[in-house]
Amino acid sequence: MTTIRTTCSRCGDVELTTGDVGLELAGEGGEGRYRFDCPLCGATERRPANERVVSILLATGVSYEIVPMEEPLTEAEITRFVRELNEGDWFSELAASD
Ligand SMILES: [Zn+2]
């Protein structure tokens, strides 16, 4: 089973399976966000997902829904996402695991 490693804003590193993650897309094949319920604290977290992350998550079998993107990403979300991209290696691990 594919393990998706990400971080909870309260708990730090957490491991999820594809069933724990849902994608919220602005349209087919575009960018969006992924959503997960933290397995430790139960909080629902949302993170921006760029096109590459979206395609990787879809390839692992994560379910998705098309939702209206009313709120633009905040600067803080983008900053955090970029930092995680630089620090984290969750999707290289994701891409490697099968
Ligand atoms: Zn948590």
Q: For residue range 29-52, list pLDDT tens digits in order.
A: 578 999 999 999 999 999 999 988
Q: What is the pLDDT of residue 90?
A: 60
What average pLDDT does range 1-26 have in this prediction? 91
CA angle, 26 then 46 then 31, to 5°: 30
Total of domains in the chain? 1
**Structural domain includes residue 97:** no
Q: What's the gap in Å between 23 CA and the centre of ligand 1?
A: 18
Expressed in angstroms and rounded, the spacing between residue 50 Cα and the centre of ligand 1 is: 23
- Distance from the alpha carbon of residue 6 to the mean position of ligand 1, in angstroms: 11
From the CA of 77, how far away is ligand 1's center (Å)? 17
pLDDT tens digit sequence for 56-73: 899 999 999 988 766 667
Cα 68 to Cα 25: distance, rounded to the nearest angstrom: 8
Q: How confident is the model at residue 75 (pLDDT cuts 50, 70, 90)?
A: confident
How much is the pTM? 0.64
Ligand 1 mean position, distance from CA 52 (Å): 25
36 falls within a domain: yes
In Å, the largest CA–CA distance within the chain is: 35
Q: Has residue 48 been placed in a domain?
A: yes
Q: Quote the domain boundaries for residue 74.
A: 3-87
Q: Is residue 96 part of a domain?
A: no
